[in-house]
Amino acid sequence: MVKKILDWISRCYMGLIIFFLYAPMIVLVVLSFNDSKSRVVWGGFTLNWYQKMFDSTQIMEALRTTFVLAFSSAGIATVIGVMAALGIHAMRQRNYNLTMIMTNIPMLNADIVTGIALMLWFVKFMPLSFMTVLLAHITFNIPYVILSVMPKIKQMNVSIYEAARDLGAGSVYAFVKIILPQLTGGILSGFLMALTMSMDDFVITYFTKGAGVNTLSTMIYGELRKGIKPEMYALSTLIFATVFVILLLTNYISGMKEKENEKKNRRSML
Amino acid sequence: MNKRTWLSFPYVLWIIGFTVIPLIVIFRYAFTTGDGGFTLENILTIFDPIHFKALVFSLEIAVGCTLICIILSYPLVLAMRRLKMGKSGVALFIIILPMWMNSILRIMAWQMILSPNGILNLILEKLGMKPLSIANTATAIMIGVVYDYLPYMILPVYNAVAEINEDIIEAAKDLGAGSITTFFKVILPLSMPGLLSGIVMVFVPSMTSFVVSDVLGGGKLQLVGNIIEQEFTKSANWNLGSGLSVFLMVFVMISMAFTLKNDVDGKESTVW
């Protein structure tokens, strides 16, 4: 009886927190279908804003910039970060500690300080542009890659690599066949983390971007004073729905695979 | 093995080029006047009444936000553990999902909920209750930062609590500990690493954010972040802005070093 009441309280509490987290999303999704520019009056259902969103070159341009920036900065950061993690792991203790402290600085530092420091430095030798934003994003993305790859390297079994070399594998071949597969999980989660951080960043982009360069975040911030265009609600709803479907599919597929493996295991046991 | 260190050279160069040098540059701006002479004035303007008020307000928001996030996270994480929702990943999925919608838009949605003729007051009116005036107050900013950073507390705390072996908790109960004792003597100390990284991930951004206070504070309530931002975008006083940034950076680093040091010492719940 007590157990049931506690279960019930747990469920209610979870529901409350989830409601808190989703309340603004519900507002945005509802507004994206609202046939009225007002934020509080419901003027009937429409898909008008979705149409307008695809027609707006400004929004499409910002969307493109956001994606190009996220994928290229995450990609470059992953390459540099994985190499760095492998190298740092082999460093002597003192250098290892020093490099890891330097790696933690951009993560501990406030975004506003990182953004301003980079901006002050960039303006000394190049005009602020897409390029400066890209450099800034790579800078704050690398630590996320290193910190998610490092634990995997520590767990890695070096003897397997050495065995492969003893058996005649070249260093590149052994790296691709032995090291990389052991690190795949860490590399992937580092890449995804970098991607997310880059897409969600506003502050650092805001300070390092040149005039005319806009990601979705900086564009929305610019519109705050004038009032947000309802097209933005449509776009964010669409992005949200896409991510939802992708995450749901990956969850579903990995669940299916697990079940299949279980079946196979059971069969082989029989 | 040591041959492998060359792989980190590009990164070491990157650190020097884009972490170390920018920090040197911002420090140089902070300690010089517009025409290049040495000064401490830029740093000391933090004690200027307006700036100091913003600093105290930022601290209040950051400490309050961190505490509220901790208080909200633990029951949630324990509820998830109780309902065995962790293993399927569905619960975490639900918590991470909102982070994929643009954060500025989500904060703006709170403005629509909390504004005088907003959704919250509409509902209260329908229920026959008095309307609330939360918009443009410290409460609104607090709701905004808690909303924005709560997932950053939930995730590390969840990971730490999920790893605690059920046997340990049962052993505590068998030995006569009540739920509250079990929580403070077993669950809290064992989840301390997760809690500490949650504190760092919530405290720093909530102290230094300027977007939330911009949107939900109506431009009247200023955090340190707002003041620094205005020095760069409106007043164009880079030296002063850098001075305040450097103060903020050192302040944050020291308080976080202090927080994490307690972790190393292995003392429990002495974070505050």
* pLDDT over 90 at B13, yes or no: yes
DSSP 3-state of B37:
coil
Per-residue pLDDT at B1:
47
Per-residue pLDDT at B262:
58
What would the pLDDT profile of B179-238 be if each residue is shown by its tens digit? 888 888 888 888 888 898 899 889 988 988 888 988 888 778 888 889 898 888 888 888
B271 to chain A, minimum CA–CA distance in Å? 17
- Rounded Cα gap, residues B89 and B87, in angstroms: 5
Listed by start position, the domains of chain A span: 58-228, 231-270
Q: Contact B205/A111, CB-based, under 8 Å? A: yes
DSSP string, B66-97: HHHHHHHHHHHHHHHHHTT-TTTSHHHHHHHG
* pLDDT over 50 at B65, yes or no: yes
In contact, B212 and A222? CB cutoff 8 Å: no
Task: Tell me which chain A residues have a C-beta less than 8 angstroms from the C-beta of B249.
Answer: 109-110, 113
Q: Average pLDDT in the A212-239 region?
A: 85
Per-residue pLDDT at A269:
60
Task: Tell me which chain A residues have a C-beta less than 8 angstroms from the C-beta of B4.
Answer: 86-87, 89-90
pTM: 0.85
Q: Average pLDDT in the B141-146 region?
A: 94
- Rounded Cα gap, residues A194 and A74, in angstroms: 5
* pLDDT over 50 at A191, yes or no: yes
Residue of A27, A87, A124 with shortest CB distance to B5: A87
* pLDDT over 60 at B258, yes or no: yes
Residue of B100, B106, B238 with shortest CB distance to A120: B238
B106 to chain A, minimum CA–CA distance in Å? 6
Task: Tell me which chain B residues have a C-beta less than 8 angstroms from the C-beta of A216.
Answer: 102
Q: Average pLDDT in the A198-224 region?
A: 89
Tokens of B83: 């309902």
Is the domain spanning A58-228 CATH 1.10.3720.10? The answer is yes
| Assembly ipTM | 0.84
Residue of B82, B83, B104 with shortest CB distance to A220: B104
Q: Which of A72-81, A145-154, B147-156, B259-268 has the lowest mean pLDDT?
A: B259-268
Q: What is the mean pLDDT of chain A?
A: 86
Domains of chain B, each with CATH number or no CATH: 49-265 (1.10.3720.10)
In contact, A177 and A164? CB cutoff 8 Å: yes
Q: Contact B4/A243, CB-based, under 8 Å? A: no
Q: Is B180 on the interface with A (CB under 8 A)?
A: no
Per-residue pLDDT at A133:
95
Q: Contact A108/B14, CB-based, under 8 Å? A: no
* pLDDT over 80 at A241, yes or no: yes
Residue of B3, B204, B211 with shortest CB distance to A110: B204
Q: Contact B7/A84, CB-based, under 8 Å? A: yes
Q: Is B124 on the interface with A (CB under 8 A)?
A: no
User: 110-139 in A: which are within 8 Å (CB) of B?
Assistant: 110-114, 116-121, 124, 135-136, 138-139
Residue of B7, B93, B110 with shortest CB distance to A24: B110
Q: Is A251 on the interface with B (CB under 8 A)?
A: yes
Per-residue pLDDT at A115:
93
Q: Which of A25-34, A35-44, A166-175 has the lowest mean pLDDT?
A: A35-44
What would the pLDDT profile of A109-141 be if each residue is shown by its tens digit? 888 999 999 999 999 888 889 999 999 999 999
**Closest chain B CA to residue A87:** B5
Per-residue pLDDT at B86:
58
Q: Contact A220/B98, CB-based, under 8 Å? A: no
A-B CB pairs within 8 A amount to: 225
What would the pLDDT profile of B77-101 be if each residue is shown by its tens digit? 988 888 876 555 677 778 888 887 8
Q: Let me know how long chain A is.
A: 270
Q: Is A100 on the interface with B (CB under 8 A)?
A: no
**Closest chain A CA to residue B119:** A40
* pLDDT over 80 at A270, yes or no: no
